[in-house]
Amino acid sequence: MFIEQDYTQYTAAQHRIWSDLYERRMLDLCEQGCRAYLDGAQKICLPGNRMPELAELNSYLTPLTGWQVRAVPGYIPARDFFSCLAVRQFPSTITIRNAEQFNYLPEPDIFHDVFGHVPMHAHDEFGDFLQRLGEAGRMATSEAEIRHLQNLFWFTIEFGLIQEEGHTKLYGSGLVSSPGEGRHALTNAVEKRPFKLEEVIETDFEIDHFQPLLYVIDGFDQLVSAADAFIDGLRHNRDTFAKAS
């Protein structure tokens, strides 16, 4: 499942695409991004002028929270993905979009995976939450449990908002890595609701347009508590099924 990142294969054009994406996005994130993301980007020395080297990022990230980034060739099965998260390994693609796809890419690339996700892994509570989602992913078996987990992942890891010093900020990778969606998420066109686990897991989403509804947390400890409650619910389901059998 894992592959090696041959850093020597990246071209000057690819380094330039990363640099241009980084510069454009960071200009907005200085105002839009949450403190945990901005601090995390500094702590892992996320490069702005060249493609990231995963081994280099891990040399900063792993001593902080135990997380590491692992290169994969593309999409991996959901259960494998969550199994990786459960042991603090984050699968990342290592290809980058071309110039024609600069503003939009339908599938994740290294800019979404590394720029969007990885700085948050330097935050203790967020890292704990992500690991717990991995554990939940290994436990979920029924269609309802899997749907609930997907909804929780979507409205936090991918499209989460946080209230910070009186302002709504971005922390979800889909918002952090996308100029259009990131700006849109902070406008009045998006309904913003306080994060409630019971509501979030029952809220389905669509992927082919900007999100009309997002959830706002007060702090990352709220996510850790939510993940624990979700796992407790899965265990309760197992116990109930076992007794019924």
So which residues are the catalytic ones? 112, 117, 158, 177
DSSP letters, 92-129, are E------GGGSS--SS--HIIIIIIIGGGGGSHHHHHH
- Check if the beta carbon of residue 44 is closer than 8 Å to that of residue 65: no
Strands 191-194 and 89-92: unpaired
Q: Which residue has the tokens 């902070």?
A: 186
- Check if the beta carbon of residue 114 is closer than 8 Å to that of residue 60: no
What is the 8-class DSSP label of residue 189? T
- Check if the beta carbon of residue 18 is closer than 8 Å to that of residue 93: no
